[in-house]
Structure 1
Amino acid sequence: MAIRYSIIIPTYNRLQQLLLTLTSFETQTYPKDRFEVIVTDDGSTDGTKEMVESFQTSYPLIYVAQQEQRGRSAVRNLGLSQAKGKYVIFCDADFLVFPEFIRIVNQYHRKYPKSIISGIPHSWDDAYTHYYPDFSPEEKEHCRNTLSPSNLWNPDFESATEIIPIITPNDILQQTETLSKVTFASRVPPNTKKQFASTDVAPWMLLVTRCVSIRRSQLTRAGGFNEQFILYGLEDWDLGYRLHRLKIPFHSIKEVVGVHQEHPTHFRGNLINIENLKIMFKSYGFNDSSLNLFALVPPNEDLEKYKHTIRVLRRGYRTKSTRSSAILMRRTLRIAAKQLYEPNDTALYQESLRRISVKVKRRKSRVARVLREILVKAEKLGE
């Protein structure tokens, strides 16, 4: 049978988590000859190569590596160059998939054959599959509180100097109850999840590489990941934005298809860092308010406010009485994004904002109220 799904797992020094993730693909109810797993190594030095090459699987497993670390975009593109499947599933090395994972993804693709299918936001729960000695004091306390009710907490963890497995490959293969005992609800607020699932505004934010499935032909058409992104953050949304511009729809999987393996916070970078945001502005210019708004209301900090602002702006354009305020909002977002990208004369920038502020001072529409809030944030950007 032809390969239908190519699962690309980028990794960098995540041997322990990757071992469990690869094991979880052994439990798939979807036919093993219909998918392949491609581990793309961004220069790991922790024995990842030896582990993957010695890993015994009943599914095709491919290992490719870069000799030196080049970043998340480049290593995913490396995997894409090896893929044979009609669809590509990007899966993080710390995402432990459930047995029905590929089968459920396949059901969604049959229903929405030309859509991008995302596991976000319903598969955001976490599990303590390992104890890390470099957990922060707060993380250690949360881990202890999670494990103690099931008697899985060991006081010796506190003095550990190496990573200690809590979940074993056998737990995954035998589907023991241990995993459920170390799993805890995501700290992502419910309304943030609701906003992620809503596709009326910025649906491309559903492209989160923890778990997302895309037609390989669409990825080729979009040009893959932008390899200018070296640092963590925005490389997945950048690709999602380009796919959205190609008018490709997005859908969210309602079922829980996996769980994130918790690790120290410092493993993560900033979801939105200024240098990567500048790359997006350089690539796409300043004509899209949904991008310009990143400069003032970063979605990772307040997704509800971000999407609410875009909705208000769009509605403002539809009504003659509020259209002028909507135009002023769009102008404000543009000049703020430009100021972030390449700071100009501060006095000139503040004067531009002052003129807009005077025009909307006495207006009472919702668009005007939101614009005044945006102006406050824009003024702070120029300080």
Structure 2
Amino acid sequence: MFFSIVIPTYNRKPILEKCLIALEHQQLSDHKVQGYEIVLVDDGSTDGTLLWLADHKDQFPHVRSLCQDHQGPAAARNLGVNESLGDTIIFIDSDLVVTEQFLQSHADALIEAEKKLGSDRLFTYGWVINTCNFDDPTSEPYKITDFSAAYFATGNVAIAKKWLLMAGLFDTRFQLYGWEDLELGVRLKKLQLTLIKCPAAVGYHWHPPFKLDQIPALIDKEIQRGRMGVLFYQKHPHWEVRLMIQMTWLHRILWGVLSVGGRLNEHTMAPLLQWLINQGKPQLALEIARIFLNWYNVQGVYAAYKEMQQQS
């Protein structure tokens, strides 16, 4: 088994350094893993990522860097897979910091599951723990909010390259934020691949502590996610996808009631959110902000769906 760790990156140089250092310190305990490479795809960064990597290439012997114009993570991951040398692909994001047992844990889980199932139609998904601790991200404990019910998500997943090629890789029409990995997951599910949870393969997903000035960008992401959700539904017009993208009357009523028809928003809730931030509880403030962020998402979904209907 030879791993190719495919990482798309865009203007994340500070945390990317921690990500790559952690991957260079993997402890492989047996001969099952013949080796690994890190395929870093720079998606048109403007922060000097590639220049920095060239200046520090001796620190990262496993890294092969590729670059493309800014096209989004779907195109970046496709480029990484197509240029990879490994038989097994691991997808992580460039703001993920892993433990020293990360690769070995994925390898053990893949081999054990294949023996148990009597088939190699499977992939492993590790834990992703969210943290805003930049200095020591791996000290963050697992929280209930870190749970994910997604079938296939690229935050921390290992899968045989042949299944990705058979499914057709990522759809590069997903150029805005969201859904390109779960859409590929629908196609992988049609190939009858089994999801194997691998909590021993832990990655710590860093993001800066929540501040009020982040809200406009977060709202924009939710609107983008709504638009990409409609593209997802356009490709797979099933009830399961409608539930995923929150395009149901249930979601419309739920977030409408919780946000009081949009009256609880970034303006009216700002004093409470700022108070929580001042109390040292930025993560709680972010979770409360998700009330109106989800409202924006649902509004974005239905606006994009109406636009799609008008065009057709």
TM-score normalized by the length of structure 1: 0.57
Tell me how far apart the structure 1 counterparts of residues 84 and 63 of structure 2 sit (CA, whole Å).
Answer: 11
- How many matched pairs? 242
Q: Work out which of the residue numbers 260, 279, 289 in structure 1 matches 2:231.
A: 279
In structure 2, relative to structure 1, the CA distance for the partners of 1:109 and 1:185 (3 Å cut) is closer
Q: Work out which of the residue numbers 55, 60, 67 in structure 1 matches 2:57.
A: 55
Question: As a proportion of its length, which structure holds more strand?
Answer: 2
Q: Work out which of the residue numbers 119, 137, 154 in structure 2 matches 1:209.
A: 154
The one-character-per-residue Cα deviations of 1:306-333 (angstroms, maximum 9, x if unpaired) are xxxxxxxxxxxxxxxxxxxxxxxxxxxx
Q: Work out which of the residue numbers 8, 13, 16 in structure 1 matches 2:14.
A: 16
Q: Does structure 2 conserve the Cα–Cα contact (< 8 Å) formed by 1:35 and 1:59?
A: no
The one-character-per-residue Cα deviations of 1:127-181 (angstroms, maximum 9, x if unpaired) are 511xxxxxxxxxxxxxxxxxxxxxxxxxxxxxxxxxxxx35xxxxxxxxxx953x
Q: Does structure 1 conserve the Cα–Cα contact (< 8 Å) formed by 2:97 and 2:138?
A: no
Show the counterpart of 1:6. 4
**Secondary structure of the equivalent of 2:240?**
helix
Q: Does structure 2 conserve the Cα–Cα contact (< 8 Å) formed by 1:126 and 1:186?
A: no
In structure 2, relative to structure 1, the CA distance for the partners of 1:60 and 1:72 (3 Å cut) is same
In structure 2, relative to structure 1, the CA distance for the partners of 1:127 and 1:28 (3 Å cut) is farther
Letter in 2 for 1:124: I
Tell me how far apart the structure 2 counterparts of residues 264 and 126 of structure 1 sit (CA, whole Å).
Answer: 8
- State the 1:254 CA deviation: 2.5
Q: Does 1:248 align with 2:193?
A: yes
- State the 1:263 CA deviation: 2.1
In structure 2, relative to structure 1, the CA distance for the partners of 1:270 and 1:338 (3 Å cut) is closer
Q: Does structure 2 conserve the Cα–Cα contact (< 8 Å) formed by 1:234 and 1:271?
A: no
**Secondary structure of the equivalent of 1:109?**
helix
Letter in 2 for 1:63: S
- State the 1:220 CA deviation: 0.3
Structure 1: gaps (5+ residues): 130-165, 168-177, 197-204, 303-336, 346-383
- State the 1:277 CA deviation: 1.7
- State the 1:212 CA deviation: 0.6
In structure 2, relative to structure 1, the CA distance for the partners of 1:111 and 1:275 (3 Å cut) is same
In structure 2, relative to structure 1, the CA distance for the partners of 1:343 and 1:57 (3 Å cut) is closer
Structure 2: gaps (5+ residues): 115-119, 256-300
Tell me how far apart the structure 2 counterparts of residues 245 and 61 of structure 1 sit (CA, whole Å).
Answer: 33
**Secondary structure of the equivalent of 1:263?**
coil
In structure 2, relative to structure 1, the CA distance for the partners of 1:342 and 1:270 (3 Å cut) is closer
Fraction of identical pairs, as percent: 25
**Secondary structure of the equivalent of 2:222?**
coil
Comparing 35-44 with 46-55, which one deviates more in the overlay?
A: 46-55
- State the 1:59 CA deviation: 4.3
Tell me how far apart the structure 2 counterparts of residues 220 and 80 of structure 1 sit (CA, whole Å).
Answer: 9
**Secondary structure of the equivalent of 1:123?**
strand
Q: Does structure 2 conserve the Cα–Cα contact (< 8 Å) formed by 1:233 and 1:271?
A: no
Q: Does structure 2 conserve the Cα–Cα contact (< 8 Å) formed by 1:5 and 1:35?
A: yes
- State the 1:27 CA deviation: 1.4
